[in-house]
Amino acid sequence: MARYLDAGLELLDRQVLDCDGRPVGKVDDLELAIDDRGVPTVLVALLLGPQALGMRVGGRVGRAMAGIASRLAGTERPLAIPVEQVAEIGIVVRLDVSVDELPEAGRLEHWLCDQVVARIPGGRRATE
């Protein structure tokens, strides 16, 4: 028997973790393939990040959010994780790649780490 997935309830807004259990982001939007009739049929990718979220929220606030994020990222396209890289969809979405293999995912994180956190004494202390 086929099991149905309610994308709105069980996929959108879920936490995404990489193969080591590190947070990647949230499922901010979904990318669907459109067949020749113009009907969306197949889930292609999970879209992550403020660009995707901003577009989904819409309105003035959403557009501003997406616009700022695009400018910072230098690209219009949000981070897309192809469904082939998804390992499991449960109360969290697990990927079978590491967050390090997704350079766009950690861009702001890495920048802040190098430019701010590393310069504060103790910023590189270990996890408790």
| Per CB under 8 A, 94 contacts other proteins | no
Q: Which of 30, 45, 46, 50 binds other proteins (CB under 8 A)?
A: 50
Phi-psi region of 74 (alpha: psi -120 to 50; beta: other; left: phi over 0): left
Spatial CB neighbours of 22, under 8 Å, sequence gap ≥ 6: 98, 99
| Per CB under 8 A, 126 contacts other proteins | yes
Asked if 25 and 41 count as a contact pair (C-beta separation under 8 A), the reply is no
| Per CB under 8 A, 25 contacts other proteins | yes
Report the 10 Å Cβ neighbour count for 21.
8
By CB under 8 A, the residues from 55 to 84 that bind other proteins are 56-57, 61
- Provide the minimum distance between the beta carbon of 25 and other proteins in the complex, in angstroms, as a whole number: 4
Q: Contact region for other proteins (CB under 8 A) — 5-13, 39-47, 66-74, 76-84?
A: 5-13
Asked if 6 and 85 count as a contact pair (C-beta separation under 8 A), the reply is no
Binding positions for other proteins, rule: CB under 8 A: 9, 12-16, 22-26, 28, 48, 50, 53, 56-57, 61, 91-92, 108-110, 112-113, 116-118, 120, 122-128
